[in-house]
A and B are shown apart, each in its own frame.
Chain A
């Protein structure tokens, strides 16, 4: 079938008309081999490599004047085009949803992130069937497609083997997926998902997720080419880096030793100077000042300066490694002789660098996400507890750097991740490389571009129309504007001329160079109830939030607020914002934070959870909701002589629990996020044979993070007891799962680290969790509200 004869507007493409001849027997029949040929891609269609990094700033990579060496980004820029006015949504899932659908994030249900589906259309965390991702179009038009790394578009509660799988990558246009579904992952102990199956934590000693991700991508590329010599491919390489936990070997972080001793204030000055030298910002661009919320580097004591410098050294090494791995993929493509006709779009950051580590940074990001307040002093002490500065970046910690480093990483702009009203949250580096199509080297493109433009650009580049129908469902047109027009013409008038921005109440409206910033008056990392009271329904009037106005052609960095001089422009852009917000389902504002404001999902009714056999890798968001409740873990075991090992364990030493047998005794360890550990053990040895063991936690009170009494039982006889002073109120881990009969990944109790995963040597027949309801409905409601708030906090930071 010729290219022209194929109707590519409706997917899947209908089978071609049989053009042979069929008689009763082969005698006289004429074959039509085209009828069984696969759908071809448009002739000459390029391969496409789409690279997206995570939580990374405009002023980080060396190609954009930053302090972090990114030779791959730099060389692609030198051999192609650098876009210095590219924008994201300012938050993880929303950017990813906008990227792969080519539509505004609220319009596809992602005003908030995947873990936190809300009860309004703009916040449902459910990609609508009428806004299918563009990889589905490529897949249906002869492309091999794959996604590697972070996905973050599958809600928490459907991440298990029971599905449904229609929100997993395979159902959304990818032949192959290898990575993780949530918002973050440990780099040394990820729970890997391959297609629709959790394959768990790799057991190689030297496993490092970012390296393995590149290995898998290269392996897939080789496999595709080995089995389809003509078929173009699309690979979405979506790094978990540089999201927390910031983990990397000293061979990478060590390169930066001493490189950040000058502090964030000086670093910004150095960066902006280099940015001007490299022409990624105009020569007259003004460095925005340090906000009051950030401390001056010179005001810090020696401990803090060194701790913070180490935080940034690790972050920089982590990022450089990610870029190196992109380089390995590029090299592999080159080696296959295919770089010439491969369109590479390399986006450095799904939002600005993340300020979610709070001002101090943290040894364990889950403390912040659980709302466990740690003082500056406690952070230092806990850093000391888990191995000091040398351990920052290892799997002993789940670290996140100080918000001030993030702000410096977003140089020369204001603010960072979550702050959709300002360029620090929204503007990220993008480089486009396609030798066959782009003649220019070291080209700079200043046209306004946005993440929703990527899909339309790719479809136009490969010669495919936006389909009107996919799987029988009529498709909404993409909202983005292809920027293919800019490839050949640096001076082309920009075609994407207006764009709204909104994340968590922070708003902006861009039109023809003007940028209205309408920031909600909240420091991004402040989520305490008192702060949020100001934004409760009936209290907050978004119309009264202060506005800023910038004219970007004259003010690249948003340093000169001209709102007072142009009140008519302010009003015009305000009005336009409200219109766009209505059009794209942005309303109700704060629709992603319903948990904070009394709109809670129904209380889960399931109180008993039974696990037969050796169930592994229960997703961290799908474990029994034992938080803030009394609960029981009961296990039926077959215990041989000398038995040992884990009966059931969730997560690791930075938050989790483990019920296990060691030295002949039943033991229970509960880690309160690495801040405190609580251990109980049986006073007598366990018997052999068929035995029931039980751990009962009796909560002190129906309140968040309640303490309580633990009693251990063997065949209903109490054999040991102890207290847990504080429990985890919302979530043990952002990624580590629960296992029956072993403790995969990092151990909860490091006493058995040498035997990890410390599989039980007897047989675990059944494990049952019973979560006891609280005595009154009022208590149940209060705790449910708290949990939802805490999870919303987690969601914001994911």
Chain B
């Protein structure tokens, strides 16, 4: 994992299928190693603000594989409660709390919540900041893009917490 600063990007869409197209485009960049990605998530926020993850992709550009720490990082930053369902299962109170704390203290949570209005679809990606221009060009169908940052060390710690939790579940 790179220790570089990372961009947390949220792209909002009027149409689910166009969000899916951009999701695929970012994953292809990861697969082609044009960018260094932690994970990518395609999600939908309903009218009441409830979020559902439709699809995930990992650092190698693979879709729908077992959710690892990279994708868990994306999900946890965006909606910590979803970690239970998507990343590591129910036995994850501690790590969920760490994500919630980071969201609050860094201000990233507020920014992410505002970026995706109720009733819209989104692509969320965490990647090394150096790839920002490349990602930006790939998201041709986004109506709105918001970018926050997370430093490499924080990302590493959050991922480590996830990995531990996953290991615990596995054991």
Contact = CB atoms under 8 A, between A and B. Distances in A.
A402 to B, nearest CB: 15
Contacts of B15: 302-303, 306, 389
Interface string B123-158: 000000000000000001101100000000000000
Contacts of A390: 119
Interface string A304-323: 00110000000000000000
Contact of A389 (B14, B141, B144): B14
Given A380-B143, A381-B143, A303 B117 contact: no
Contact of A391 (B12, B13, B119, B141): B119
Contacts of A381: 12, 143-144
A301 B14 CA distance: 13
Contacts of B144: 380-381, 384
A433 B13 CA distance: 49
Interface string B89-127: 000000000000000000000000000011110000000
A687 to B, nearest CB: 32
B50 interface: no
A387 interface: yes
Given A380-B143, A381-B144, A306 B14 contact: yes
A137 interface: no
A303 B118 contact: no
A522 interface: no
B14 A387 contact: no
A303 B119 contact: no
A383 B119 contact: no
A249 interface: no
B119 to A, nearest CB: 5
Nearest to B47: A387
Interface size class of B (residues with CB under 8 A): 10 to 19
A388 interface: yes
A302 B143 CA distance: 11
A387 B118 contact: yes
A361 to B, nearest CB: 13
A84 B18 CA distance: 44
A303 B18 contact: yes
Contact of A384 (B14, B18, B141): B14
A562 B141 CA distance: 46
Nearest to B142: A303
A380 B12 CA distance: 10
Interface string B1-37: 0000000000011110010000000000000000000
Q: What interface size band does chain A fall in?
A: 10 to 19
Contacts of B120: 384, 388
Contact of B141 (A302, A377, A383): A302
Contacts of B47: 387
Interface in A276-313: 301-303, 306-307
A360 to B, nearest CB: 13
A383 B12 CA distance: 12
Contacts of B13: 384
Contacts of A301: 140-141
Nearest to A391: B119
A377 B139 CA distance: 14
A303 B119 CA distance: 16
B20 to A, nearest CB: 12
A676 to B, nearest CB: 12
B10 to A, nearest CB: 12
Interface string B36-52: 00000000000100000
Nearest to A387: B119
Contacts of A307: 14
Interface string A354-395: 000000000000000000000001001101111111110000
Contacts of B117: 384-388
A86 to B, nearest CB: 40
A390 B141 CA distance: 18
Nearest to B143: A380
A389 B47 CA distance: 13
B119 A302 contact: no
Contacts of A383: 14, 143
B12 A303 contact: no
A304 to B, nearest CB: 10
Contacts of A303: 14-15, 18, 141, 143
Contact of A380 (B14, B118, B119, B140): B14
A384 B14 CA distance: 6
A307 B141 CA distance: 13
A397 to B, nearest CB: 12
Contacts of B143: 303, 377, 380-381, 383-384
A383 B143 CA distance: 10
Contacts of A391: 119
Contacts of A386: 117
A387 B18 CA distance: 17
Contact of B12 (A302, A306, A384, A387): A384
A607 to B, nearest CB: 38
Contacts of B12: 381, 384
A8 to B, nearest CB: 61
Contacts of A388: 14, 117, 119-120
A417 B134 CA distance: 45
A557 B47 CA distance: 47
Interface string B75-87: 0000000000000
Contacts of A377: 143
Nearest to B118: A387
A384 B140 CA distance: 16
Contacts of A385: 117
A303 B139 CA distance: 12
Nearest to A390: B119
A384 B142 CA distance: 11
A625 to B, nearest CB: 33
Contacts of B18: 302-303
Interface string A508-551: 00000000000000000000000000000000000000000000
B156 to A, nearest CB: 33
A236 B109 CA distance: 56
A388 B121 CA distance: 10
Q: Which of A307, A383, A388 has the most CB of B within 10 A?
A: A388
Nearest to A381: B144
Interface string B46-83: 01000000000000000000000000000000000000
Contacts of B118: 387
Contacts of B119: 384, 387-388, 390-391
Q: Which of A381, A386, A390 has the most CB of B within 10 A?
A: A381
Interface in A43-79: none
A381 B12 CA distance: 9
B123 to A, nearest CB: 14
Most buried by B among A303, A377, A391: A303
Contacts of A380: 14, 143-144
A303 B117 CA distance: 17
A782 B18 CA distance: 47
A702 B161 CA distance: 55
A301 B47 CA distance: 26
Nearest to B12: A384
A386 B12 CA distance: 13
20 contacts: A301-B141, A302-B18, A303-B15, A303-B18, A303-B141, A306-B14, A377-B143, A380-B143, A380-B144, A384-B120, A384-B144, A385-B117, A386-B117, A387-B47, A387-B118, A388-B117, A388-B119, A389-B15, A390-B119, A391-B119
Interface of B: 12-15, 18, 47, 117-120, 140-141, 143-144
Q: Which 8 A-B pairs rank lowest in CB-CB distance, beginning with the nearest?
A: A380-B143, A381-B144, A385-B117, A388-B119, A387-B119, A384-B143, A384-B120, A388-B14
Interface of A: 301-303, 306-307, 377, 380-381, 383-391
Given A302-B15, A306-B15, 17 more contacts: A303-B18, A307-B14, A380-B143, A381-B12, A381-B143, A381-B144, A383-B14, A384-B12, A384-B13, A384-B119, A384-B120, A384-B143, A385-B117, A387-B47, A388-B14, A388-B117, A391-B119
